[in-house]
Structure formats: structure tokens, C-alpha cells
Amino acid sequence: MVYHNLKALIKGIRACKTVADERALIKQESAAIRASFREEDSYARHNNVAKLLYIHMLGSEAHFGQMECLKLVASPRFGDKRLGYLGIMLLLDESQEVLTLVTNSLKNDMNHANMYVVGLALCTFADIASEEMSRDLANEIEKLLGSSNTYIRKKAALCALRVVKKVPDLADHFVTKAKNLLADRNHGVLLTAITLVIEMVQTDTACLEEFRNAVPLLVRHLKSLVTTGYSPEHDVSGLTDPFLQVKILRLLRLLGKGDVQASETMNDILAQVATNTDSTKNVGNSILYETVMTVLEIEADSGLRVMAINILGKFLGNRDNNIRYVALNTLNKVVSIDTNAVQRHRNIILDCLRDGDISIRRRALELSYALINENNVRVLIRELLAFLEVADDEFKLGMTTQICLAAERFAPNKRWHIDSVLRVLKLAGNFVREEILSSFIRLVAHTPELQGYTASKLYNALRADISQESLTLAATWIIGEYSEILLEQGLVDEDQPKPVSDAELVDLLISVLDSPYANYLTRQFVLTAITKISSRPTTSATQQERIQTLLASYTTSPELEIQQRAVEFASLFTLGDLRSGVLERMPPPELKATVMGVVSENKPVGSVQPSKDGDLLGDDLSSTGPAAAVNGAAAVAQSNKDLLAEIFGSSGASSSTPTAQAPRTTAQDILSLFDSTPTSPVATQPTSIPSTSAAAAAPARPAVTSPPQPAQPRLVSYPAYDKNGLRISLTPQPRQPGVVDIQLCLSLSSCRSGRSLIQLFSRVPLRLLICG
């Protein structure tokens, strides 16, 4: 069945009961349309293209109707042209070659006497124009920009916008006409003209200087929109043409950025817009938001900036979550510009942490980090800790890091700093980064007057909860290191210290060792801690025997690291007094800034400019002035050079004294295995791959100040394979029982897969010798 018009086709498709029936009908109708196209029936063409466009809208193929659309455009009848241009916009895009055939039709119709035909051509051009078509018709568009008809001027401005986007070089063609359009009294023309100018200004800096002279004109337009009375033609919720107001504000923002004179010209009108616009309706809020963004971008005075930030603070009290999100997002961008103005809204920002919308909570959290300073650190950290207690897991990692960094930077005293980190460890110990844990241990090590207090607090916290990994690690390390202080001072209580015995300490650590929360790392910490406790004079003989028995039980552990530690620690008990020296308290590590300046969402901690307290390695460079910074940079560069020399086995560092000996290379280390140490470097070095095994040679050092080393024991090699240019030998290491080096001598000339073998073996812990 063939449908005679579009209405019948729509009715037939809607009558289909299944998708299969609908597809069959569309397939049948498409075949009929193809057959009709072949007959070149000009009267049926209009109906067929209309039906085909409907089929295209349903998602079926309709590309075979492209040429018929071109034929309709060539028709003198307006109805045919309208349908033909619609088909071109739907079925063609700028990448298709057929589009070249449309250019002449567009040019002819742009010069048509009927303004609606001109409008059709302009709409089509603005939708599908390619770079080539833009160059061909740019002159026509420029001519139409000066038309006396507002309908045509409006559409021509949008076509000029398309030309500027496709061919930015042609922007200067439209500068004069665009300036004339900015003086137009028709709101539609003015709206499209400002849109065109915004694109031109963003594309070409030369245009930016040209249009700066138009600032007074734009200010007059905006003033008339703000002060005019009720205009039924342009009224939207009681505001006169808010769309035009927003466009003018955006253009003023671009023209006033970096220009003091232009900014001064628009200051008064911006204050007037901010004061007179109704903020109870969404339309008014959109204008206020654009006003705020303009004030913050241009060279406005401080009073105007404060007013803009106050508007954002008012947005935070709005019931609409979208407006609150926009306000928080904008405040995040401007907090570094005027921190004190944002600080006034701190309470309402903190209230947003309890909002039900997760995106609001996230933005409020980022803003809270940026507001922290020396004056409010206690209040804000308290609020953040309260939020940490109920926060989702996805927030906790970033929160623990930011809170600890803020405490490290702004802490009023060390006890408050320690208490804050302890609270973080209790609330979210499973979400603490290793750098934060290391920083906390450094802090305790450098605060001897609070070591007993910290050990006591961690002891009580660990007894209450052993499920938080970082809390367990910190408590285990500090209790093991400062157990004698804890035993002497007892547990810190509000009234009086409570004594604690060495048996209780050992019981607590063993309970951690046996708990289901203990992991590979926790067990290593606990074994080290109880070994250190056993060496303290405050530990009884009974507990020392108990610890020795426990270590002996782990000497057969299936975990290699645990077994190795247990064997080594157990062997210390046979060394007598030497054990106390080996296990004495560690010296305080070097203090340095935590190696994390920026965490989640790339937001810096604190409300001042990013800190220069340390470089990427956490070394303090600012405290000793520029000279120290230069020396530090030179030291880092020299260290990197030495590291590269060590990795590649080459003498990279220059000798500081004439008598310094060159460090041994990896090739010389390998040759020494065969007792063939060379006295001078050879001219041609074999390709060497550095050792990556645990038994690799120690980093080379100059021999100027080193004492004479004892003679190395002779190493015996055992051949394992010697065929096809590949020789493999095994060399046991007498000083490291259980370690065997594997040497490969590979003749690359006789083995086509030599390079593949090098790449394969260089990824495993072997020592290789590649012979050319």
C-alpha cells in the first residue's frame, strides 16, 4: 500500500502493532518513494520528500533524497523551497560533497526579493555552512548585515557568527557592520549582534581593542533595560529582556578585563544592576550571577567585589540546589581573590556540609579547605572532624589528608596538632595516606615532652578499636618506640595517671597480631614493636621470654618478609648487650613538609597563596633564602645525576679531588665474578644490563677515604647451558646463602632473537652479561 501524503503515512505507521510491522511499512514506503523519484514527477516530489523526512526522523535511511531536496530548492514556489531547505539541513552536513551544489542556490536566494526566501537561505547557511562555503558567501553575508529589514539583519548576524567560527581570518570583514548593529534599537538584532561581537572578541585580540570604544554604548543599552518600565513585548517575569541583559553583561566582562578605563565606565551600571534586580525569581538570579562574574573579571574596585561576593553568599541561602551549587562553585574560584569577604559567609558554607545533595557537600568541603587560616583553624577543623564522622567513604581519603595538612600548617601548638591527627586516625584510620602517617610519626619523634601523652592516647585508642589500619600502625610504632616512657608515666587520665604493665602492652600487641584486621604490613610493625619492647630495661624477664617464644613461632611463617624479620629478631637474643644497642630508640627523623600540597579536586589547603614551604621532595627551601634554594636545586640535580650513574653503571659524577678514583661500573662488577678485574677501561664496552637482584653490587663509592677492603672470596661458576651462541652459568654467593646469580653470555651475531632475549631477561631479577 502506497500512502499519498504525509498525514496518511503517519496514520499508517501509528496503526502498526509491532516494531516489525513498522519496519516493514517503512521499507515498503521507502521503495515506493525511490520509484517515484526515478519518474521525475515534480508534483509528487514535495509529498515524497515530506514523507522521507518523517522516515528520517524515525531513524531510517533517507540519504537517497538529498538530490531531490536540491531540486525543491531550485523551484520558484516558496513551499517547495521551504521543504527543500529543511531537507538539506536534516540530510546534509558540512562534510558532504553534495553541499558544494547548494552554494549557488543559497547565493541566488540571498538576493531574492522576498525576505522570507532570504531568511530560508540564511537559516540554512547558518546551520550547515562549511569553511569553503563561508569563504564563498562572506561578501553576501556582509552586504545583508546592512539591510534595512530587521528580520534579515538578525539572521545575517547569526550567519556572520558561523563565518567567524569557521574562518577566523574573515572576522575583520564584519567589524564595521557589527559596530553599526550595536547601535540598533531592535532587541533581536541587538542580541544577535552582541553574540557576534563576543565571538569576534574571543577570536581576535585586534577586534577586542576595536570594540572597547563601544563600552559607553553598551552601558546605555543596559541602563535603559534596567530603568525602563513594563514592556509587554520583552517582559519575562517582571524583568525587561533578561536574555539581552545577560548578553550585554558577558560582552562587558570581556571588554573590561585588563582595562581600567573601561572597567571604571561600567562600575556604576553594574552596581545598579546588582542593587535593583529582583532575586526572588530565577530570571533575576541569572542576571545577578552574570553581574557577579563580570565584577570579578574586570578591574572593579574592592567595594564592588565585596558586593558581588555578598550576592553569592545570598545565593547560598536559596532553596534551589542549582543556585547553591553555582554559588559554591563560584566562591571556590574567587576565594583566593578576596578571602576576607568569603570568610563572612563561613557559617552558611559549613551548613552546606549537611546538605542532602552530594554535589553541594563536595563543593562546600572544597571551599571549607580553602578558608582555613591561623585564626579559624580550631573552629573549621572541629567542624570538618564532625563531618568526617558521618561522611561517605568517597570523601574520607581527601578529608583526612586535607585536615592533617591544615593542622600541620596552621596548628596553634603541637598538642592540638597531635590531638587533631589522633582524632582523624580514630574516625577514619582506614582512609589515611602513608605520607600523613609518616608526618605524624615525625611530629611525635620531635616532641619529646608529648611522647608519653601520645603513647598513652594511642594505647587507649588501640584497646578500643583495632579495625582502623593507620591507627594500628601509628600506635604500634609509637608504643614500641616509647614503651619505657609509657610504663614510667602510666596512662594519662583526667584525674590521675593510671599505671600500665609491660604484660598489658605485650598482650595488646599480640591481640593486634592475632586479629582478623591484621595484614601483611601490620604484622611487620608488631614484630618490630615487641622486639623493641623486649630490649627496654623496663621489660621483665618473663615478657622477654614470651616475646622470644613468639618470634620463634614466626620463623616458619609462609610470608617471606615476616619470616625474615622473625629470624633476624630472634637471632638478636643471642647477642647479649649488643641487642640493646641495635634496638635502641631511633633518632628523630629529619623534619620536612608533608609531600602533598594538593589533593582531591586539585584544591590547595588554606586561604592564602599556595605555600612555598617545600619542593616536590618535601625539602624546606624557603627558610634559608634564595641562595639555599639554588644550592638545594644544585644538590637535587647532582643527586639525580649520581642516581642515573648508579642505575646505568657509568661514572656520571665529576670527581671533587684529583686523586679520587672512578667508581666501579656494573660491567667491572660482572667481570670480577670471573676473577678478571681490568686495570684500565677497555675501548669497547659490551652492552650491559644493570643488576636488579637482591644480591646486586652495592652502589659504587670513591675509594679516597675508604679503608682497605678484605680480599673478595673467589666465586665458582657452574655451567648450565652452552649451545647456539648462548651460555648460561650459575654462581652461588658465599656471603649470601641461598642467593645464586645467573650469568648469560649471549652472542648477538649468532642469535637472531638476541634483542628479544635481552628485553625478556631484563625484566626479571638476573645479572646479565651480554657479549657482542
Q: Hey, is 240 helix, strand or coil?
A: strand
What pLDDT is attached to residue 756? 42
pLDDT interval class at 713 (50, 70, 90): low
User: Which of 31-45, 383-397, 445-459, 591-605 is predicted with the least confidence, judged by mean pLDDT?
Assistant: 591-605
pLDDT tens, 632-649? 444 444 544 454 444 444
* Grid-cell match 547548494, residue found: 102
Residue 37 makes CB contacts below 8 A (sequence gap 6+) with: 45, 48, 64, 65, 68
pLDDT interval class at 495 (50, 70, 90): low
What pLDDT is attached to residue 558? 92
Structure-model confidence comparison of residues 718 and 389, the more confident one: 389
For residue 67, give the nearest of 37, 41, 44 by alpha carbon: 37
Q: At what angle do helices 6-15 and 19-38 cross, to 10 degrees?
A: 160
d(CA 363, CA 367): 6
Q: Does residue 410 register a pLDDT over 90?
A: yes
What integer is the mean pLDDT of 112-131? 94
Cβ–Cβ < 8 Å for 686, 769? yes
For residue 254, give the nearest of 288, 209, 286, 216 by alpha carbon: 209
What pLDDT is attached to residue 659? 38
d(CA 358, CA 486): 43
Q: Where are the beta strands (DSSP E) in 593-648?
A: none
Structure-model confidence comparison of residues 159 and 319, the more confident one: 159
What integer is the mean pLDDT of 638-665? 44
Cβ–Cβ < 8 Å for 160, 145? yes
What pLDDT is attached to residue 617? 31
Mean pLDDT of the chain: 81
Cβ–Cβ < 8 Å for 699, 661? no
pLDDT interval class at 402 (50, 70, 90): very high
pLDDT tens, 425-439? 999 989 999 999 999
Q: Does residue 707 register a pLDDT over 50?
A: no
pLDDT interval class at 24 (50, 70, 90): very high
What integer is the mean pLDDT of 166-178? 91
Q: Does residue 628 register a pLDDT over 80?
A: no
pLDDT interval class at 166 (50, 70, 90): very high
Structure-model confidence comparison of residues 767 and 58, the more confident one: 58
d(CA 246, CA 283): 10
Q: How many residues does the chain have?
A: 772
User: Which of 56-60, 495-499, 605-609 is predicted with the least confidence, judged by mean pLDDT?
Assistant: 605-609
Phi, psi of 769 (to 5 degrees): -125, 115
What integer is the mean pLDDT of 471-475? 95
d(CA 261, CA 212): 10
Phi-psi region of 146 (alpha: psi -120 to 50; beta: other; left: phi over 0): alpha
Q: Does residue 18 register a pLDDT over 90?
A: yes
d(CA 673, CA 730): 11
Q: Hey, is 583 helix, strand or coil?
A: coil
**Do strands 740-747 and 235-236 pair parallel, antiparallel, or not at all (unpaired)?**
unpaired
Cβ–Cβ < 8 Å for 561, 505? no
Cβ–Cβ < 8 Å for 103, 137? yes
What integer is the mean pLDDT of 108-123? 94
d(CA 471, CA 499): 22
d(CA 29, CA 721): 77
Question: Amino acid identity of 417?
Answer: H
What integer is the mean pLDDT of 451-464? 93
pLDDT interval class at 144 (50, 70, 90): very high
Q: Does residue 53 register a pLDDT over 90?
A: yes
**Overall pTM > 0.75:** no
For the chain, percent of residues with pLDDT exceeding 90: 54
The three cell numbers of residue 18 are 509491532
Q: Does residue 624 register a pLDDT over 60?
A: no
The three cell numbers of residue 477 are 610504632
Q: Does residue 595 register a pLDDT over 60?
A: no
Structure-model confidence comparison of residues 368 and 671, the more confident one: 368
- Alpha carbon of 133 to those of 101, 125, 139, 171, 567: distances in Å? 10, 8, 11, 15, 81
Q: Does residue 454 register a pLDDT over 80?
A: yes
